Amino acid sequence: MSDVARLVLVMLAGFLGAMGVALSAVAAHRVEAPALVTAANFMILHAAATIAVSAMAGRCRAPRAWAVAAGLMLAGTTLFASDIALRGLADLRLFPMAAPTGGSLMIAAWLAVAAAAFLELRCRAA
């Protein structure tokens, strides 16, 4: 994975984290909707995780596996949290099944992290 690609992932994760903090503020001060807190927490947590996974892509022998995990994390969190936030703020949806699709992508991302670590262990053992 190139440095530029890794930095783009980190940049997008930064935006995701910022949106999570902003959504937390809205949930705390403007709109009483527990779903907003859930969406904000997912954004902040997965933004930090994406940055960590992106860093692994620069240090490891299987950078593509780490990049796939980071990309899945960003895509899944964006879909999931955006759909949840839209429902909490405006009673709208991105599209049918957006949140479950995003949730499934986040699960796939964490499995991809496990797979990338496994590949890394195999590369180092060889």
Domain of residue 59 covers: 3-125
| The pLDDT of residue 123 | 80
- According to the model, what pLDDT value does residue 1 have? 74
Say what the pLDDT of residue 108 is. Answer: 98
pLDDT for the residue numbered 57: 85
CA dist., res. 116 & res. 49, Å (int): 14
Q: Which residues of the chain have pLDDT under 50?
A: none
Give the pLDDT confidence score for residue 3 in this predicted structure. 86
* pLDDT computed for residue 60 by the predictor: 84
- The tally of domains found in the chain comes to 1
CATH value at residue 7: 1.20.120
The pLDDT value given to residue 125: 78
Long-range contact pairs involving 19-28 (C-beta distance under 8 Å, separation at least 24): 19/43, 19/81, 20/44, 20/47, 20/81, 23/81, 23/85, 26/89, 27/88
Q: What is the pTM of this model?
A: 0.91
